[in-house]
Chain A
Amino acid sequence: MIGLARLWRTRETGARTLLPSQDEREVALHYVIGFLCFLSCMALLIVIASDRAAQGWARDIRAEVTIQVRPTGLESGSVAAAAAAEVLAGVKGVEEARAIEPERAKDLLKPWLGDVVLDDLPIPNLVEVKLTPKSPAKPRAMMDALANANIDATLDDHSVWLKDIEKSALIIRLIFLGIFLMIGSAAAAVVAFATRAGLAARGDVVEVLSLCGATDTFIAERFQYRFARMAFESGLLGSAAAAIVMALIKVTGPSQSFAMALPFSWHDLLVLIPCPVLVAMIAMVTARLVTLRLLGRS
C-alpha cells in the first residue's frame, strides 16, 4: 500500500507527465491486459459457481441415505422394507423414510441393466431415507434401531459418491486457480515486455532524467505509474466484460443446462471489484522491478 500512496503523490506533483503520452504499442497492450483480465475474471467466477454446484450436490447427497433390507424367514422383501421404513421414521434426525416399490427400483436400474435382464434378477429391497438437514441422524443410530427391530439391513450413506464429488470439485478449483495464476503471470510478462520496450523507446527521456539527477527509483516510479494506470483501465474494461457475460448466463440460465453446472449468483459480481486493482498492482510491481533491473545494468 506504500507503493500506491507514493504513486498518487507522484500524480499530485505532476511528475507523471515526464514520460511521453501513450503510443500505438500501448493501445495493443491495453487490449491484451483487458482480455487477460476478462479471462481471469471468468476463471474466478467459474471457480465460485462450480464450488457452489459441488456444495449443493454434496448437500443433497448428505441429506439422503439408502437402506437395503434383506428379508428374514417367510416375510416378503416388500414387507421387510416397509417395516424398516417404519422403524427408521422413528429415529431422531430422520425426516422421512419410504420403502421403494419394486417397480420403481426396476425403473431406477433399467438405465444400467436393461429390460430383459431385470426380469431374471432379484431386485434389492430398498428404503429411501431423507434426513433432517440441520441435525441428520447418524448411520450408527439408524443401524442400531434396525438391529433392535431384528431387521437385517445395510446402509449406504453415498459416501463414495460424496468423495467423488468433493474430489472433482477440488480438482476443478485447482485447475481454475492454476489458470488464474497463469493469466496473472502472463499479464506480468506482458507488462515486463512492454516496460523493456518503453525503456528502449524512451531511452532519451530516461537519460535526460538521469542526467538531471533522477535516481533509478524516481525513473521506475514514472514507469510504474504509467503501467499501473493503464492496467487499471484495461482491468476495469475486462472485469466489466466478464460481469456482462456472467449476467447473460444468469439471465438466460433457466433455459440452459449449464445453469445447473454453473449456478451463478449476483453476489459473485462483488469478487470482480478488486480485479482491476489487482492487475494494476501486478503491473506496478512488474514495471518497477523491470525498470530498476534494466537501469541497474546500464
Chain B
Amino acid sequence: MEKVIVVENLTKAFGRFKAVDQISFEVEKGEIFGFLGANGAGKTTAMRMLCGLSIPTSGKAIVAGYDIRTQPEMIKKNIGYMSQKFALYEDLTVAENIRFYAGIYHVPEKEIAPRTQKLLERLGLEHEKDSLVKALPLGWKQKLAFSVAVFHHPGIVFLDEPTGGVDPVTRRQFWEMIYEATDSGITVFVTTHYMDEAEYCDRVSIMVDGKIAALDTPANLKKEFDANNMDEVFYRLARNASRKAD
C-alpha cells in the first residue's frame, strides 16, 4: 500500500514544553485517518507541521511525497485544508470563492469552468452561485468549504473539526461527501470532537499529552479497551491526561 504520510519521531518544543513529543505513524492512500485528542494534547501543533506551516524541532515527516522540513511550499500546493473556523471568504460570492481558490492552487484555466459547474450541481447550489457566502446556512458553507478544499484534486485533505456545530442531518451528509472523496483516491486526515464520527474513520489515533496513546481501527480499539463505543475509549485514555489545560 502506498503511504502518503510517514511520520517519524516528530517533535515540536516551545522552550521546555514539548507540545508534540516524538510521534510516529503512517497513513495509507485513500484512508480516512481520524486524529483525536483532548484540547491541548498537541493535535493542532502536529497538524500545522504536517501542513508545512510549522518547522519541527526534531524528527521528520513526509507528506504527499515531500519533506515537511525542506519542501513546505510543495506540501502546501499538494494538500487541501479546511478548518471549522476559517474556510471561505464571507464577503465573496460562492462563485468568487471557488475562482479565488482555483487561482491560488493554479488549477488550469480551462478546467475551472467545468469543475465549478460540476461542483455547483453536486451541491445543488446552482442558484446560489452569486450569493454571498455569509448568506448561506452553516451546513451548506461547510459542504462548500470541503468541495473547495479538494477543488485542485489534492492527494490529501486535512479537515480540522469540519462538523462542529453543524446540524445532525448535514453532519451525516458531510461524512458521505468524505466517503465519496476517498472512493476517488483522496486521503482524509480529520479531527473531530464527535465520537460517533471517530467510528467512520478507517483508523483512529488518540493523542494524550503530546504523544500518540493509541492507534488502530475503531473496532480494535474498542476490543483493546473493552469499551462499547469510541466515547468510552477516548474517556479512558484522556481522563488521565496531565495537561488539563486547553
- Are A and B associated in one complex? no
